[in-house]
Chain A
Amino acid sequence: MNRRSLWKLEQTVMKVLMGSALLLVTGCLVLILGTVVRRGLSAMNLAMITQPPRGGYYTGAGGGILNAILGSLCLAVGATLVALLLGLPIALYLQVYAGPCGLVEMVRLSLDVLGGIPSIVYGAFGFSLMLLMGLRASLLGGIIALALVELPIMCRAIEEVLKMVPFELTESAHALGITRWEVAWKIVVRQALPGITSAILLAFGRGIGDAASVLFTTGYTDRLPTSLLRPVASLPLAVFFQLGTPFPVVQERAYASALVLTVMVLVISVFSRLASNRLSRYVVK
């Protein structure tokens, strides 16, 4: 009896602790978003998102961060395309072609390990690659480094989705005598399209917010992106550099830039959720 009430007490205490832990985690999220929105909105104006920086921008003169917004979009779109072109075949190979064998496990392990590599290391690696190829800091270099960051995220997310394709579907397709190539591209991809879309958006969201990998590979410029071989600006670095200046006016702009970045990431994640819900209406269950 005594032990039983002790158990009850312990359970109650732990429940309270668990509840407060959950509150803490969600509270942090609310706090982060709240801080960024509150401080960002007060520094926000139309010029911020419609104009590139004018002369003397970093000491308080007019202009905006259009260069960083467009630069980030170019970087993330390019990197996501490259990562998709590499990642989708790999995921399909693992799920459709390869049976369970040592090689496949090796590939899975390397994907997981690649996903764990810090993005600053990808930046350093990308930089050495660029030196090797004779490239200077440029959009292309950034796309390469960022694609490396996104590849494992994309691969794992797509593979998770491909696992959900009903086995009976591929099995009956095989029984009708079509090749694995056709199973992969005509059935599995079509069936998993909603999930693949949301995997693409997930990788895109990660890519657009990553700063450490583009720090040395793309450089920074006040001009709008024009060429693959020129440096471009990016939003995370815009936040970082503006916050690093000693002028409060410019620091305010860092808050606004962070707000733009956060809103973009949130919108992408909402779209990713919608994609997996909306598109899945036409999927064979």
Chain B
Amino acid sequence: MAESWIEGRPLPRQKARHTIPSREMRTKRRRVVDRLGGRMMGGLAVGTALLVAVIVIALLARAWPILRSHPLKELLLGRTWHPLQGAFGFWPFIVGTLWVTALGMVIAVPVCTLCAIYLAEYAPSTVRQLVKPLIDVLAGIPSVVYGLWGVLTVVPLIRERVGPWMDHHLGHIRLFSTATNPTGYGVLAGGVVLAVMVFPIIISVMEEVLRSVPDGLREATLALGVTRWIMVRKVILRRALPGVVAAVVLGFSRALGETMAVLMVVGNVPRVPQSLFDAGYPLTSLIANNFGEMMSIPLYDAALMAAGLFLLLVVLGFNILAWLVLRRMSMSGRVR
């Protein structure tokens, strides 16, 4: 300040620094920030809601060339996959996906249901507090690690023990024969790995659902003098059935989209599997294996995008279904 006196400059506007903006000004500014901030955050939220549509449209646009040139029936039910000759039949891949996923669910559903019932109805809180973090850890393990485990443990187990045993006892049935593929890399290995991967998802959703059944029902049933299991079977499971189904559907759709772990153990032969031990080739593996080389062959990238689109639409449908059911459950049951 002194300097500016000496140089004869006008005083800096000191006043503004010391005055406190009036109360109205401050309130006004806070209101503006509030409104603008709210708009911005709301915009982000709506943008997220639109993202699903954007993804569907983007994949549709990229898959459009093949959807236009080939009838949908030929794509979905065609059995020949020869991109070089322009034959894009997804049937073997769709069946491969269904085989692996179905096997995974056959293994996972009973195990998960039993586990969830135990955790929700029987387990003392110490056990629950011990087991839940473990299940979280299981959910956090990366899928390549599951794949590696499949390659190191599951595949040898199937090749050396399960396969020969089944072939010896039930080998005359095509379903259990290892004649076509004794390597162990096949749909069964994929199913086992997938089952372990969906354990945490199904268990946690199912446990939540079972716990949302009101305690009054439990007390009333137990007061009739039945055992706890009868209560679970006759009352809790019945009441929670839609939610249990939704949990299974969620697990199913997760299994459907799993890529790396399955890719590593499933064998990747584009043929319709006939037996538990045959190699399969799920849609996700198809996309992952061929994405790099697709550019040179006409329509190949569109075909892979179409595969992604099919997968996406199925998963979307399942997820919306499960969401509707679960929301109704949480509304009718305990208020969360």
A110, B320: Cα distance in complex, Å:
9
In the assembled complex, 21 residue pairs joining A and B whose CB atoms fall closer than 8 Å, in A order, are A7-B230, A11-B228, A22-B114, A25-B203, A36-B145, A93-B42, A98-B42, A107-B45, A112-B323, A116-B257, A120-B284, A120-B311, A125-B308, A179-B31, A181-B38, A202-B140, A216-B292, A236-B142, A239-B148, A243-B147, A255-B148
A206 to B152, alpha carbons, bound, how many Å?
23
* CB neighbors of A among B138-178 (8 A): 138, 140-149, 151-153
A32 to chain B, nearest CB (A): 5
Q: B170-203: contact bitstring with A at CB < 8 Å (1 yes, 0 no)?
A: 0000000000000000000000000010010001
Give Cα A114–Cα B312 distance, bound, in whole angstroms: 10
User: If A10-B227, A116-B250, A121-B59 touch, does A212 touch B148 (CB 8 Å cutoff)?
Assistant: no
Q: Decide yes or no: A24 and B45 within 8 Å by CB, A32-B196, A211-B143, A236-B144 being known contacts.
A: no
Flag B20-53 by CB within 8 Å of A: 1 or 0 each. 0000000000110110011011101110111110
Q: Of the candidates A21, A212, A258, which one forms a contact with B114 in the assembled complex, judged by CB atoms under 8 Å apart?
A: A21
Classify chain B's interface size: 35 or more
Q: Are B51 and A179 in contact (CB under 8 A)?
A: no
Residue pair A215, B315 in contact (C-beta under 8 Å): no
Contacts of B196 in A (CB 8 A): 28, 32
Beta-carbon nearest neighbor of B37 in chain A: A181
Bound complex: CA of A113 vs CA of B38, how far in Å?
A: 24
Query: Binding site of A, secondary structure by majority: helix, strand, loop or mixed?
Result: helix
Report how far A28 CA is from B115 CA in the complex, Å: 13
B217 at interface, CB cutoff 8 A: no
Given the interface pairs A18-B115, A121-B311, A121-B312, the reply to whether A106 lies near B250 with Cβ below 8 Å is no
Pair B137/A107 contact, Cβ less than 8 Å: no
The interface residues of chain B lying within 8 Å CB-to-CB of A26 are 131, 134
> Beyond the given A11-B229, A89-B44, A113-B319, could you list 17 further A-B residue pairs with CB under 8 A, ordered by the A residue number?
A18-B122, A31-B153, A89-B41, A94-B45, A107-B45, A107-B46, A109-B323, A112-B323, A118-B259, A120-B259, A120-B308, A121-B312, A124-B59, A181-B38, A208-B142, A211-B260, A258-B144
**Cβ-based interface call for B305 (8 A):** yes
| Chain A residues in 8 Å Cβ range of B153 | 31, 35
Q: B229 near A128 (CB under 8 angstroms)?
A: no
Check A209/B141 contact, CB under 8 A, given A25-B115, A125-B59: yes
Q: Would B287 and A24 count as touching, CB distance under 8 A? A: no
| Nearest-CB residue, chain B, relative to A109 | B323
- State whether B48 touches A111 (Cβ < 8 A): yes
Question: Taking beta carbons and an 8 Å cutoff, which residues of B are in contact with A?
Answer: 30-31, 33-34, 37-38, 40-42, 44-46, 48-52, 55, 58-59, 61-62, 110-112, 114-115, 117-119, 122, 131, 133-138, 140-149, 151-153, 196, 199, 203, 226-230, 250, 253-254, 256-260, 264, 284, 287-288, 291-292, 304-305, 308, 311-312, 315-316, 318-320, 323
In the assembled complex, the Cα of A243 lies from the Cα of B149 at a distance in Å of 12
A258 touches B148 (CB 8 A): yes
Q: Which of B49, B58, B142, B257 is close to A211, meaning CB atoms less than 8 Å apart?
A: B142
Chain A interface residues toward B at CB < 8 A: 7-8, 10-11, 14-15, 17-19, 21-22, 24-26, 28-29, 31-32, 35-36, 39, 86, 89-90, 92-94, 97-98, 103-104, 106-107, 109-114, 116-122, 124-125, 127-129, 148, 151, 155, 178-182, 184, 202, 205-206, 208-212, 215-216, 236, 239-240, 243, 254-255, 258, 261-262, 265-266, 269, 273
